[in-house]
């Protein structure tokens, strides 16, 4: 059976000072509640059979809980990002140390390339990279070069309406790409494979296994649509992270094929 591991990182006490770009800043982020919600998120991964590995916490880095942005993992390779926001570039070092310690080979996106992990959606040999916001064309080109030995097809997708590509779309276990249409720049990229959901947060799912998805409790109508498709749905309350443009994908890096060196 495929190994299922994930990197996670505890919220900073300064989380409310993090960057927001496409939404209004909340008057108040309850950090204590965020920590409780984070623990519930991690518990949901554990209950689904996942093993989590904590990246060293960084209280001085407000957005560090959104660990997905630090890398793109493909096969046994972890491509460490070069975040588009300078304020977030300090997040990658500890994340790189953690993933290397699990046995992954490491490559890096280098300036002038920029890339955030949240701009990368992978499914069945295809890798869609959202460019136009935090990730630029040079960053996408470097990722394409790093993934070429795997035979991955890297496809650039415009992102202007939301922070990251995976703020707009993710994929269900059968490869259907889901999104809230008003926030998707070009749904025709996935013509014939795009399914609209009624809520913004309904576009964000983590695949727990071949028939189960993890999603935010704030999208009950979307959850019912997925259940109607025969999926099991696990919901978690992440309201404090949503105030900071976060979603369920942002809070972990999923490692579905841990190398031998990290499995010992």
The CA–CA distances, whole Å, from 251 to 63, 69, 113 equal: 10, 9, 24
Alpha carbons 104 and 122: distance in angstroms, whole number: 18
Catalytic residue numbers? 164, 250
């Amino acid at each position: 059976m495929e190994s299922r591991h994930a990197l996670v990182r505890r919220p900073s006490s300064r989380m409310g000072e993090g960057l927001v770009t496409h939404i209004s800043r909340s008057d108040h982020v309850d950090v204590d509640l965020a920590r409780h919600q984070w623990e519930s998120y991690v518990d949901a991964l554990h209950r689904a059979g996942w093993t989590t590995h904590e990246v060293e916490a960084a209280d001085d880095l407000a957005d560090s809980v959104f660990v997905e942005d630090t890398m793109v993992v493909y096969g046994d390779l972890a491509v460490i990002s070069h975040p588009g926001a300078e304020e977030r570039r300090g997040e990658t070092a500890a994340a790189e140390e953690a993933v290397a310690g699990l046995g992954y080979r490491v490559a890096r996106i280098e300036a002038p390339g920029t890339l955030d992990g949240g701009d990368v959606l992978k499914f069945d040999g295809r890798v869609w990279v959202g460019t136009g916001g935090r990730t630029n064309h040079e960053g996408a080109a470097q990722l394409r070069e790093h993934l070429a030995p795997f035979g991955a097809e890297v496809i650039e997708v415009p992102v202007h309406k939301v922070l990251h590509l995976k703020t707009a779309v993710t994929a269900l276990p059968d490869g259907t790409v889901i999104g809230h249409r008003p926030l998707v720049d070009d749904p025709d990229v996935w013509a014939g494979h795009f399914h609209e959901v009624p809520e913004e947060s309904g576009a964000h799912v983590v695949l727990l296994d071949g028939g189960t998805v993890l999603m935010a409790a704030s999208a009950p109508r979307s959850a019912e649509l997925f259940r109607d498709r025969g999926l099991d749905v696990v919901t978690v309350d992440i309201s404090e992270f949503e105030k900071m443009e976060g979603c369920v994908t942002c809070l972990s890096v999923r490692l579905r094929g841990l190398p031998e060196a990290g499995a010992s």
